[in-house]
Amino acid sequence: MAIAKDYTFQETLLSAANSAPRHQGETAWEIAVTLLEKVGVELVNRATEITVELLLRCDNSASWHFNRALQAIKNRSPASEHNPQESYHIWGKFIGYYAEKRLKLRDRTIDIDILASLKEHYFLFGSQIRATAFVPG
């Protein structure tokens, strides 16, 4: 499968997932979140952004999808374990982009289950990410 292939295949899959029609949203979501967990550092920002875009398109089960994305970030390759800054960057990118996109939608509310997920994962984010993502601006 292309998920295990090189950069070009993964980038093509991300682009396809991002432009998928609404009725194929769940399939697109699964592709994006799987890639979020598997891609190398050169594609992780794009995978994060597309995962958030697809997350915001979810009509239902937003909290389940949000948790799934957090789990994918947490389960990233062992390379992230040896470089905590990389992990913090990915967490921060995900949370920051999610908050930014929600504000652009003029949606200042947060699902109570998503808030519970953030509370559960709060200490995994690192102090710099917590300060950036959770302080109202």
Q: How far is residue 125 from each of residues 35, 59, 60, 63, 87, measured CA to CA in Å?
A: 20, 27, 26, 18, 8
Report yes or no: 90 and 76 within 8 Å, Cβ to Cβ: yes
* Angle at CA of residue 69, ends 88 and 30, nearest 5°: 140
Residue extents of the structural domains in the chain: 2-134
| Digitized pLDDT (tens) for each residue of the chain, 137 residues in all | 555 668 888 999 999 999 999 899 999 999 999 999 999 888 999 999 999 999 988 877 888 999 999 999 988 866 555 676 777 788 888 988 988 888 788 766 777 888 888 777 776 666 555 544 444 44
